[in-house]
Structures are given as C-alpha cells and as structure tokens.
Structure 1
Amino acid sequence: MSGAIILTLSMGIRHGFGLWLQPITQAQNWSRETFALAIAIQNLVWGLAGIFMGMVADRFGAFLVILLGAVLYALGLWGMAYASTPLMFALTAGVLIGVALAGTTYSVIYGVIGRNVSANKRSWAMGLAAAAGSFGQFLMLPTEGLLMHWFDWQIALVVLAAAALLMMPFAWGLREPQLRIGAGHVREQSIVQALREAFQHRSFQLLMAGFFVCGFQVVFIAVHMPSYLRDHGLAPQVASYALALIGLFNVFGTYAAGVLGQHLQKKYILSAIYVLRALVISVFLWAPLTPMSVYVFSAAMGLLWLSTVPPTNAVVAQMFGLAHFSMLGGFVFFSHQVGSFLGVWLGGFLYDRTGSYDVVWFIAIGLGLVAGLLNLPIKEAAVVRQPLAQGANA
C-alpha cells in the first residue's frame, strides 16, 4: 500500500506536466521546444539517476532513497513555478525532478516488491502496484486541472510541491530493517560482473530496445497531446479528461499485464502491446478528430500505457535474479528514458519547424511495429552461471 501511494503521487504529478506546456510557454514567451527540452532532460536524468538510485536501494533499502526523492520533487516543482530563464527551468523541471522521479518510482518500488514477494506471485504483485499507482494518475489529472482553474499556474505548482512531500511518511512503510536479497538468494556477483553479464545477454539488449520505444511513445503523447488537441480547436478540458482516461484505463491494463505474466511468456505480452499501440495510433490519426474519438483513443492507449512495466521488470528478475535487480531494472529504464527524451524533444522541435506533430506520430507508429518484432526472440530463462571459487564473492 505504501508503494502504491508513493507511485500515485510521484507518477500522478508527473503525468500532468503536459497541462502546463501552453500556460508556461505563453506566460514566459518561450517556444514549445524550450518546454519540451526541459521535460526531455527530466526523462533522461530520471533514467540515468535511476541506475544509481537502484544501486543504493539494492544495498541499503528504499527508505532513504524515497525520502531524498520526495524533497527533490518538492524543490523541483517550486523551481518550475518560478524559473525565469530556460536554463533555470531546465535545471528545476529537468534535473531536480528527474532525480526525484528516479528515487520515487518503479525501479526502487519494484526492488522492494522483488525482494519480498515470491517468484510465483512477483509479476502479479508488480502489476497490482502499478495498477494502484495508475489509479492515482487518474485521480491526479482532474486535481491538477482544478488547481489550475482555482489558482494561477504558479500557485498550482506550489500546491503540488507540498503534495510531493506527502511521500515522506509513506516511505516508512517500505523500510527493510534486515535487507534481504530474497529467500534462497545470495549476492554472488559484484556490480561489474552483473553488468557485464547483463549487457552481453542478447535478450537483455532486446528488452532494452523495446523499452526505448515505450518511452518514446508514452511521453510524446503525455506531453504533447494536450497542445495537439487545442491546436485542432478542442476545448482544454478535453485534454484533461483524455489524460485522466489514460490513467484510469492504465489501472486495468497494468493489472491485466501482471496477471497474464503469471500464465504466458512475457515476451508475447510485450510484443502484442507494442503492435497494438501502433494500431491504435493509426486509427486515431485516420478517424475524424472529435472529443469522442479522443476519449476512445485515450481509453485504448490507457490499457497499453504502462502495461509494459510489470512484464519487463519481471523478465529482468527472472533472467538475472534479485541481487542487482533495481540496478539492472534501472538500466532498462534508462533506455526507456532515452526514448522519452527523443519523443518529447522531437515533438517540440518538429512542431516549431513544421507547425505539425504529424511526423512524430508516424515515427511512433513505426517504432511500435519494430518493438513488437524485437521482443519475440527474447529468452526468459534464468542465466546459467559458473560457480564462483570459494572466497571470490564480491
């Protein structure tokens, strides 16, 4: 429950950043690329910092990592509200919030789950935590919209900064006084050995490539779809309802993916998700753009939104065990965030130069088909290691 609430606040606040694109750029007289670059930096920093946050959480537990993340989140949101230059906006909305997200989202929370839930229930538990967090995204989007309606955009961000600090008491519920790697597991590799093993593993490489595509698609849509809809004459509340629907249906999608991962090979689940995303985007672009078509698209994308996360993380744990799970999951997530960087930045860059998001939509479709193919050859079996000589444990 504590992990779900932390994910609710962390991912819920982050899920609504697209609502601030036009208010901030219009108030500051910035281009959309300026806003998009800061959020792109946020995603890249989130992925990079997630590797190191994962290392710390693997070694010392999640409690202190989440406390630090909550404080940085609040500082970043406050700075996002009052940054007066693109550089300060990039440092606060980009760097500070990026590090904060690394300490308060999936790599760290799933590490606790992996260490404390048996293998036969791990995929289900990850899906359940993600589903609970996704319901928070559904709740947070209308909340953020109301805050912007009641106050100006700066005060709304300050209120969210205070909300981010609420993660701190819930971090107490994720303490691991006697950190254990999992029943029957020992730390039989050093960090360097674990990294060498993973990056030489073909299935790990393919998993990272697929997750790159996930990041490109979801962050482009989350950040740029509100502006895309307003550009086409739809009312601002349509975007708020659309993002809320994504969060709501994400609850069902992530939970279903976690449950299916207990019964089916996860690579097939992942492949199907990426191909279905490409299909849903294609139909959305082909159909007439109306509020109803937006809501149907949002519901369909919501089912596929973060449903990649439970099976992806479960495959990492299944292949390499739990000793370095948060760290290796952090590397996979870094690939996701490189995709996020490109998706959100290209959206702003190409819009400013072409006046349209069409090219990026088409790229998202093509990448979805590629990711569907890349996941099919993945081998989910645990790696076979040679026994270490006595005393060689790192």
Structure 2
Amino acid sequence: MNKTGKRTYYGWYIVISASLIVLLSMGLRMGIGPFVNPMILDLGVSRTEFSVIIAIGMIVYGLGMPLAGWLIKLYSTRFVLITGLLIFCASVLWTINANGMISFLLSFGILLSVGLSFLSNITLAPIVSKWFVKQRGKALFYLSTGGMAGMAVMTPVENTLIHYFGWHQTLLLLSGVFICVVLPSAIFIMRENVPEGADGVVTRGRVHNQDIQEKLTWKDAVRTRAYWQIVIGLFACGFGMNLMGTHAVPMLMDHHFEPMTASFGFGLIGIVAIFSSLFLGSIADRYPRKNILFWVYFVRGMGILGLVFVESPWQLFFVSVTGGLVWAGSIAMSSAILSDFYGVRLLGILNGWAFFGHQIGGAIGSFIGGWGYETFGTHVIAFGAAAFVSIIASIVSFRLPEKITFAKYIKDEVQSLSK
C-alpha cells in the first residue's frame, strides 16, 4: 500500500522483476568487453577470430528471440524464462571446460547466446505491455533501464572479478546470481492474467482498435513499411551497441587508457542511461514516439563517433555522459511502437524477428570492430560506420507514420457493427 492508501499496481512488480533479469542478461551480453583479452590469451586466437565467434553468437542470439516469442505464445513467459535459465547454466559449465575453438564456439558462442536470448527484453516486453496501456511507454522505458543498469554495473564488476578470480570463476559466480534472480521471478511474480483495461481507462476507440489488432497476422505486419523502418532502426542499434559492448573497452585500452578507466568510462554510459531513461519514460506517452526515436539514434551516432577520438579521461567521461542520455531509448520506443501499431498479441514474434535484424547488425559490428582494427590499424572504420548507420536510422525513424490503418479489417468491423 502507498501513502494514499491505494495498492501499488501489480504490473510495477513485474516491471521491477523483469528489469533485474534484463540487467543480468543484457549486462553480460553487452558488457562482454572485459572477457575479450583474457579469453583471447587463454584460447591463443587473434582478435579477428574471436570476433567471428562473437558475431556468430550475435546471430544465434537474434534467432533465439523469435523462437522465444513463439514459445511465449505457445506456452508462457514463465516457461521461456526457466528454459532460458537451464540453457544458460549448462552453457556456462560447458564454456569453462571447453577445449579448443569448436568447443568454445558451441558453448560460449551458440548455447550461451540461446540462453541469454530467452532471458532478454524480447521475452519480457510482451508481458509488460500486457499489464500496461496508458503508461506502456513509461513501463517499457523502465524495463530498458534494467539493460542500461546492466551495462553500467556488470562491466566494472566483471572487470574486477576477472582481475581477482579469472574469467572461469567469474562466469560461475554470475550463473549463481542468475539462478537467484530468474528462478523466483519466473515462479512467483510473472502472471499472465491481466485485469481488464490494465492500468488505463479503456475508451471505445481503444476497444475498437484492439478488436482490429486481434485479427491481425504477422503477415499483415511485415507487409507494412513501418515494420521495416523499425527493423532498420534496430539494425543500427545492434551495430552500434554490440560494437561498443565488444570493442569499446579494448579500443580505449589500445588508446592508452588504463583498464579500470576504460571500463568505468564505458559503464558510465549505462549509469547515465539509468537516470535519463526515467526522464524519457516520463515523456514517452506524452510526445510522438517517432520523434523521441529520432533523437535517440541521432545523439547516439554522434556519441559513438566521439568515443573513438577522446584523448583524456575527462573527454571520455563527457562523451559517455552525452551518449548515455539516449542510450536506453531505441529498444523501449521500438517495442512501444510495435505494440501500438500491431497489438500486444503479436509483439513477441514481431519484436523477435525485428531483433534478429538487431543481431545481424550486432554481428557485423562485432566482426568489423576486430577485423577493421587488425586490417587498417585503426578503430575509426568500425566506429565511423556505426555512427553513419545511426544517422540513417534517425532519419528513417522520423519518417514513421503516426498510426497504421488496416482497411480490410476496418471494413469487416464496420460491417459487423452495422448488423
């Protein structure tokens, strides 16, 4: 109960629980930078070869997302979370005992990616969207805050744990934390039965729109230009975020920053994103979502480009703070727009395939980050490309429609109401 005597809306407990899960899964997926150098030394591979493994993992991570969306529709969020946890724990045990490149590729590159995809934002965004109508944008932004907190928290934590215990023990410790967070959340908190109207007042127009959305199929969605505009934006998001997650810390160390300074500078993006996402969440349902998405991609592109040219800690921290202001927005806004356009029922599968585009971008970004440096001796190629793609995404996002109408379903609805 709060001070006014009203019960706290149950949906917020789901948001908190989901945010903690995303904190861990995205924190590990996006904050892999501290693992790069010690794993390369242990495996005896080049940065390009390691980048190939990461790139394959990114694609598998993307393929796991529509699978997770399909399983949610077939079973439940709880089932997908517990399955993902089991896969993740098995992959960690295999990874720390892996011998040779093939074993490491199968365990760390493929199996771990499947497990993390089942514990990702894609699995949790549909249930959050179900519980929120009037405040859907805010709730999804808060969910994204978990991912940003993960990047802020996990990167320096992983760096510290690896320094004292090595990367094998660090993965084991993290798997124990995953069990303590994901298992009770899946069993006790994730409820699929939502009260009528969720958190908002259902108007006649909204009911009418929901009736039409209930009839939509995924084929209807992918035939619209707006869906592919979202996919283009998420491709850019994946390109930049995974390039940063895999290569930002090593890049900064190549530019003669101390390891802890590099890790903190990268983690600072997530720290700022935690607070900025709270602000963006407060305006997400008050202003056109496409306008917010435009600024997210534009400022992020400038930040990615700026990061490669910083020469001192204060410059690094300034760029990190600036980039962190918009770091959380793309995933939240994309999910909100998809649910607005096509309904919550299709959100899991549509979000999953859209995020496959995100992971294709992530695979390309992760590969180019290593290959570009070893081929040209500079990080400007990869980070400049990420900035360029982000600017393209900002333009495409600005051109999104305010809403989508499906003429054939509107005609059917009008005919049924007239009878």
More displaced, 86-95 or 44-53? Answer: 86-95
2: CA distance between counterparts of 1:75 and 1:171?
18
How far did 1:195 drift?
Answer: 2.0
SS in 2 for 1:152: helix
In the alignment, structure 1 segments of 5+ residues that lack a partner are none
- Tell me which residue corresponds to 2:159: 145
- 1:281 pairs, out of 304, 311, 320, with 304
Residues 318-356 of structure 1, C-alpha deviation per residue, up to 9 Å, x if partnerless?
Answer: 000111111111111111111001000111122222222
RMSD: 2.4
Cα distance change, pair 78–256 in 1 and its aligned pair in 2 (3 A):
farther
* Deviation (angstroms), 1:61: 2.0
Alpha-carbon distance in structure 1 between the residues aligned to 2:73 and 2:116 = 17
Partners of 1:268 and 1:290 lie apart in 2 by 33
**Partner Cα distance (1:363, 1:22) in 2:** 24
The answer on whether the counterparts of 1:69 and 1:101 sit within 8 Å (CA) in structure 2 is yes
Alpha-carbon offset, residue 206 of structure 1: 0.9
3-state SS of the aligned residue for 2:398?
coil
Match of 1:86 among 89, 95, 101: 101
Distance 2:193 2:285 in 1: 28
CA distance in 2, matches of 1:92, 1:139: 25
Residue in structure 2 matched with residue 312 of structure 1 by the alignment? 334
- The reply on whether 1:338 has 2:360 as its aligned counterpart is yes
Structure 1 length as normaliser, TM-score? 0.91
The answer on 1:211 being equivalent to 2:227 is no
Q: CA, structure 1 residues 187+372, in 2 after alignment: closer, same or farther (shift >3 Å)?
A: closer
Match of 2:137 among 123, 136, 139: 123
Provide closer, same or farther for how the CA distance between residues 181 and 344 of structure 1 changes in structure 2, counting only shifts above 3 A.
Answer: farther
Q: What is the CA–CA distance in structure 2 between the aligned matches of 1:188 and 1:260, rounded to whole Å?
A: 25
Separation (CA, whole Å) in 2 of partners of 1:378 and 1:68: 36
Q: 1:111 is matched with which residue: 122, 126, 132? A: 126
SS of aligned partner of 1:83: coil
SS of 2:268 mapped into structure 1: helix
Percent identity, please: 24
Matched, 1:349 2:371: yes
SS in structure 2 at match of 1:378: coil
**1:30–1:369 distance in 2 versus 1, CA, 3 Å:** same
Unaligned runs of 5+ in 2: 1-15, 199-206
Match of 2:319 in 1: 297
Q: Equivalent residue for 1:6?
A: 21
For 1:287-311, what per-residue CA distance to the aligned partner results, in whole angstroms no more than 9, with x for missing partners? Answer: 4x12222222222222222221111
Which protein has the larger Cα radius of gyration, Structure 1 or Structure 2? Answer: 2
Alignment of 1:207-286 (within 5 A): 207-286=230-309
Aligned twin of 1:325: 347
Distance 1:138 1:284, change over 3 A: closer
Q: Which deviates the most, 368-377 or 9-18?
A: 9-18
1:168 match: 183
* Higher mean C-alpha displacement, 378-387 vs 42-51: 378-387
- In 1, the alpha carbon distance for the partners of 2:197 and 2:129 equals 8
Tell me if structure 1 keeps the 8 A contact 2:65–2:352: yes
* Corresponding pairs, count: 387
Q: Distance in 1 between matches of 2:214 and 2:132?
A: 22
- What TM-score comes out, normalization by structure 2 length? 0.86
- Does residue 374 of the first structure (1) align with residue 396 of the second (2)? yes
Q: Identify if the C-alpha distance between structure 1 residues 93 and 301 changes in structure 2 by more than 3 Å, giving closer, same or farther.
A: farther
Going from structure 1 to structure 2, the CA distance change for 1:368 and 1:21 (only over 3 Å counts) comes to: same
Q: Specify the alignment match of 2:173 in structure 1.
A: 159
Instruction: Report deviation, 1:272.
Output: 1.3
Question: For 2:399, what is the secondary structure of its paired residue?
Answer: coil
Q: Distance in 2 between matches of 1:84 and 1:306?
A: 37
User: Once the two structures are superposed, what CA deviation does each residue of 1:344-392 show, in whole Å capped at 9, x if it has no partner?
Assistant: 01111222222222211111121122111111221131433534699xx
